[in-house]
Amino acid sequence: MNITDITEEDEKSPLILQRADPYIYFHRDGYYYFTASVPEYDRIELRRAWSVKGLADAQPLTIWRKHADGPMSWHIWAPELHYINNKWYIYFAAGRAEDPWWIRTYVLENTSSDPFCGQWEEKGPLVPEWDSFMLDTTVFSNQGKLYAVWAQKRKERSENSALYIAEMESPVKLKLPQTLLSFPEYDWECRGFKVNEGASVLKHNGKIFLTYSASATDSTYCMGMLVADEKDDLTNVRSWKKIESPVLVTDSEKGIYGPGHNSFTKSRDGKEDYLIYHARPYAEVDLAFALYDPNRHTWVKRIHYDENGYPIFQ
């Protein structure tokens, strides 16, 4: 182990304060890149460092700001940075100043080799089968194909959001139809609000673990998980097994409340997997205003695996 590795001591306190929906990407240039929702919900920032721990002191750069009105003018949420076909992409959710909850997924593209340079071009919305509340899009590659997973209100509008997957024709276009992967059905997914959102993908020993967040954004917020074999048809819901219990929940002894909206990254030597997630340091929060409480901090911890090769997060 070297001084840049995450230790048990690092897991006891937040990595970065007041950054929700954290996303860390380790690029081939040797940098760890970080982006997240800022408390003002008005811009997208990037920061980078040579280690995960170094991100705490890295200077953020604002690469895009919300519009004054219309699409992409309110609730700028959950940006994710991806490098696909030698271009940089940011997927994020945004509402309208005139209708803050008219939230959809949008894409930015940068053709520079350095995401801190070049121009970030707006590529418009990511368009699903039907138009409804949509957010928290992540993308990943498997067996030579590019996939997107996102949260969206179903046509039946029977809950706040469910999880969908689709192959992608390009980094800015879905290959439809889309497949319903998961919807809130267990009690722990329906506390406060009926929510499945914030998906992220972890690959390990031929398996694909798809984590997601459930329930309201207070101390009931928690992480669930689906699992599939990497060789199966990922657009077939029968390829996925949903774990019936949450895999990460509030831990009052550790002062971690409402953990969720996670991402994954690796140690520099590739031997360790890290869980990146947000949580509050206290339980008391008004559910009506929980999204505007700024103290959802970024935490990080090493992932261990059980005898079946499943990740252990708690």
User: Any idea which residues carry the catalytic annotation?
Assistant: 21, 197
Residues 6+ apart with CB under 8 A from 2: none
Report how far Cα 254 is from the mean position of its chain's Cα atoms.
23
From residue 93, alpha-carbon distances to 50, 112, 231, 248, 262 in Å are 28, 23, 30, 24, 16
CA distances from 158 to 40, 88, 195, 272 (A): 30, 35, 11, 39
241 class by beta-carbon count within 10 Å (0-12 exposed, 13-18 middle, 19+ buried): exposed
Say if residue 287 is exposed, middle or buried (CB neighbours under 10 Å; 0-12, 13-18, 19+).
Answer: middle
Distance between CA 169 and CA 167 in Å, rounded? 7
Q: Tokens 């959710």 label which residue?
A: 93
Query: What does the alpha-carbon distance between residue 74 and residue 100 come to, in Å, rounded to a whole number?
Result: 6
Tokens of 219: 């101390």
End-to-end CA distance of the chain: 22
